Chain A
């Protein structure tokens, strides 16, 4: 009997100690409201995207048609795809390295604990936010109009977008870093630069490397898409083949893309595991 009486007692005790326990009905009402709001949001989304699942069913033979026309992939096109594949990787690599080099100094200005002045902090944060807010596709369009078609505008677009993505994460790492070694070295009489290179750098380097390697993986994937707006690489090949209805070349390009993306992902994950 006493065991059965226990739970309500405990609950009463909690309430007495000021633990906020919503009443049985209060909690449920809130839950129902949440579910209702979610369902309304889902309903309007379905209407807005004009979702018609029946079209998928009636159009299934169209898809089957494309798949038969695309298979088997045209392996004779493989040698022609190697150069664009290298271009894609290199756009990602160049963009990441340039992004890291530009994001680092900006991040030092954009971290509250290392910013030399409030005005520079605000400015650096604004630059980083702007680079991030404009999608890399838009940056690529801008750079294509500036420097013409080819891989270079793609590399530039990725660099600038990376500044936005890396700058914020780098600044967060610097803000969250353990300041113990920094203070310890300052008290030994070491100079500012010495403290930076011997305490700050070794403390934050593993995190920064990890973030940069993750970015490399992301950048190789986005450099594929940038080809669609004329920024070279596999994306451009894919677009050309589709426009010419060469579906076997399309499937071959997709195959190469798949291998590339998987390889980049594995490599990045492996390197990140090592620096951690």
Chain B
């Protein structure tokens, strides 16, 4: 059992997840990991190895059936309702698809990321917290798309849309970003751009980033640490230089796609 650094942002302790009752499929089997501020951690593994489940447990979208998730020293596993929403605000989520609202402007989409901080009658009936416009523009600037603020989100390319979704996550003022296969539906060039961006905000904003990837090669170049998962278990957790190619390919061996 490794000893966690005292300043860990997120840590999972022996996380277990069994879908569909006592005899269901075991998606997570004692998965433990820790994330420090400013660290970019990449999770690799075949489809169904539990990496997305792990991310969803950390994000508070799924309740693990064993173990616990600590965010900034606080156990979020048992939280519900308002307390859960507030805990979620600390973690910005990026999905495979950008999930923007196509008919609204890029700026409006980014402003939506600040809604959690502005619970009022006005925002409940559909008004945006305009006081956050400056902050939202700053976030758009960070992803290099400030010039697109007034454009309809539906008109963006896949890579641009994904960067706006990162700006939306940044507008939340998170302490960590959780990215679930953020480059899986992008062309190689846009994928590089998104990875560079995640790397940059991780370093400059001291954000912890957990990124689920399918490309070992991207992981090697951008990650501070790589976690390999197989059948719900953490197989290795080390710096890229310390991991042999064979160790990574062993994750995918004997698995029918």
A183 (CB) vs chain B CBs: closest residue:
B99
Cross-chain pair count, CB within 8 angstroms: 76
A165-201: which have CB < 8 Å to B? Answer: 180-181, 183-191, 193-194, 197-199, 201
Residues on B with beta carbons closer than 8 Å to the beta carbon of A222: none
Q: How far is the CA of A198 from the CA of B119 in the complex (A)?
A: 13
- Chain B interface size band reads 20 to 34
Q: Is B31 an interface residue (CB 8 A)?
A: no
Query: In the complex the two chains form, is A188's CB within 8 Å of B59's CB?
Result: no
Q: CB-CB contacts of B183-200 with A at 8 A, as 1s and 0s?
A: 000000000000000000
From residue A200, how far is it (CB to closest CB) to chain B in Å?
10
Q: How far is the CA of A190 from the CA of B93 in the complex (A)?
A: 13
Q: Which residues of chain A are near B74, meaning CB under 8 Å?
A: none
CB of A184 within 8 A of CB of B124, answer no
Bound Cα distance A181, B165 (Å): 10
B104 at the interface (CB under 8 A from A): yes
Name B85's contact: one of A181, A184, A189, A205 (CB within 8 Å). Answer: A189
Which segment, of B109-117, B136-144, B236-244, faces chain A?
B109-117
* In the complex, residue of chain B having the shortest beta-carbon distance to the beta carbon of A199: B101
- Interface membership of B169, Cβ < 8 A: yes
Is the beta-carbon distance between A193 and B104 smaller than 8 angstroms? no
Please state if A202 and B103 are interface contacts (CB–CB under 8 Å): yes
The residue in chain B whose Cβ has the minimal distance to the Cβ of A197 is: B126
Contact of A189 among B100, B125, B165, B172 (CB under 8 A): B172
Q: Which of B100, B101, B124 has the most CB of A within 10 A?
A: B101
Contact pattern, B 81-115, Cβ under 8 Å of A = 1, otherwise 0 = 00001101101110101011101100000001101
B117 to chain A: which residues have CB within 8 Å? 189
What residue in chain B is nearest A202 (Cβ atoms)?
B101
Which residues of A sit under 8 angstroms from B61, Cβ to Cβ?
A: 187
* Complex contacts, B95 vs chain A, CB 8 Å: 180, 183-184
B99 in contact with A188 (CB, 8 Å): no
Check B99 against A181 for contact (C-beta < 8 Å): yes
Given the contacts A184-B99, A188-B92, A189-B116, A201 and B168 also touching, CB distance less than 8 Å: no
**A188-B116, A194-B124, A197-B126 given as contacts; is B99 within 8 A of A180 (CB)?**
yes
B62 → chain A closest CB, angstroms:
12
- Asked if A181 contacts B100 (CB within 8 A), the reply is yes
Q: Does A206 contact B (CB under 8 A)?
A: yes
Assembly CA distance A193 to B118 (angstroms)? 12
In the assembled complex, how far is the CB of residue B156 from the closest CB belonging to chain A, in whole angstroms? 14
Complex: chain A residue closest to B82, CB-CB: A191
The answer, yes or no, to whether B80 is at the interface (CB within 8 Å) is no
On chain B, the residues within 8 Å of A191 by CB distance are 85, 115-116, 119, 124
Is B93 a contact partner of A184 (Cβ separation < 8 A)? yes
CA–CA, A152 to B165, complex, Å?
A: 50
Contacts of A186 in B (CB 8 A): 88
B123 at the interface (CB under 8 A from A): yes
CB-CB < 8 A to B172: which residues of A? 188-189
Taking a contact as CB atoms under 8 Å apart, the answer to whether A189 and B126 are in contact is no
- Judging by beta carbons under 8 Å apart, are B113 and A201 in contact? no
Contact present for A187 and B97 (CB under 8 Å): no
Are A194's CB and B119's CB within 8 A?
yes
* Subset of 16 A-B contacts with CB under 8 Å: A187-B59, A187-B93, A188-B89, A188-B92, A188-B113, A188-B115, A189-B172, A190-B112, A191-B115, A191-B116, A193-B125, A194-B119, A197-B125, A198-B101, A198-B128, A202-B103
8 closest A-B pairs by CB: A189-B116, A189-B89, A180-B99, A197-B126, A184-B99, A190-B115, A193-B124, A187-B93
Contacts beyond the supplied A181-B101, A183-B99: 15 A-B pairs with Cβ under 8 Å: A180-B95, A180-B97, A184-B100, A185-B112, A187-B61, A187-B88, A188-B113, A188-B115, A188-B116, A188-B169, A190-B112, A194-B124, A197-B126, A199-B112, A205-B103
